[in-house]
Amino acid sequence: MLVTHGHKFSAGVWGLIVDELRNVMKRAEPTWIFFALAPTVVMSPQEPSLLGMYPDVVATLGFTFATSFPPKVISAEEVKAQRIPSCTHLAVLLALQRLAGNVLASRQRENLSISVGQARSLLSCLRESFVFARKVNDALPLRRYLQRVGWRYGRTVPSSNELPSLLPQEVMGKQQYLQMLFTALTRSINKNDLAPFEEQEEARGYMARMVQDTLEEYLAWTGVAPQHIKDGKVVPADAKQRVESFTPLIVATLREIAEFDNTELQRHMSWLYPLLTLLMLVPNVKVRVALSNVFSKGIRQLLLPR
């Protein structure tokens, strides 16, 4: 409904909507789980002396500060009382990621009155959501602990011994983020549908970096190109689970690349072509079909004589 009727909303209304989307997305993230393993305490900040001079401002903004020293602490027991992340909250987070992506991708096409600042704010929140999910997915000790206390979310095969994860949120967040970036690069006969040049250049840089990183990780997880594991890390123990989760994202990305015109495709050939040739070794049928489409529709055009 936001996309369908969004052209009727003013910039002010969209500002309120974007703020609320950000607020709900952040609340849906189970950030407290990182305090579940260690007896770490979280201290509430002391009230700065300057703000203490303006109690009405503090009350209006809803700030809460420690009134004494040492400040109040949140114990590990209080965190553990929540036991495991709520599946309902995680389902809400998935829906909001999809909604944010659709709104951002429709901004130019549907002429939504979303300012550049509002769009960047929502895009930043979308990015933060999959960065947080990735942080959880890389924390294997945390995932083992959550498995022991009964968390079963995010497994590709429910009856298996796979570790619970936030892989659905990482994949959905990245897919929606890339959807917006690809949309900004889409060539159209109607020039009014194109994003401004500055936004296109910014989107192009983000897209190239993210697609390259994602393809390299995927190739490493499949075992085709383990040399792409960076920073001295090793292939993760749950590589098979990650491959299963990321395959739809890889397929969707290849389909978008297949729609590039010659000019756009040529910009990325130096880093993209070697990765595409390595993807030929991946045995997944859907990946191979999408890859063949890239070569037949895109790269083939670059090889034809002019």
DSSP string for residues in 52-116: HT-HHHHHHHT---B-SSSPPEE-HHHHHTT-S--HHHHHHHHHHHHHHHHHHHHHHHTT----H
What are 73's strand-pairing partners?
A: 43
Residues 6 or more apart whose CB falls under 8 angstroms from that of 66 comprise: 43, 44, 45, 46, 47, 72
Mean pLDDT for the chain overall: 79
Does pLDDT of 70 surpass 70? no
- The whole-number pLDDT of residue 231 equals 63
Does pLDDT of 65 surpass 50? no
Contact 294, 257 (CB under 8 A): yes
Which of 60-64, 207-211, 256-260 is least confident?
60-64
d(CA 97, CA 203): 18
286-305, pLDDT tens digit by residue? 999 999 999 998 777 776 65
User: What's the one-letter identity of residue 98?
Assistant: R
What are 42's strand-pairing partners?
A: 74
Mean pLDDT of 33-41: 62
Confidence of residue 13 (pLDDT cuts 50, 70, 90): confident
Confidence of residue 56 (pLDDT cuts 50, 70, 90): low
Instruction: Classify strands 42-43 and 73-74 as parallel, antiparallel or unpaired.
Output: antiparallel
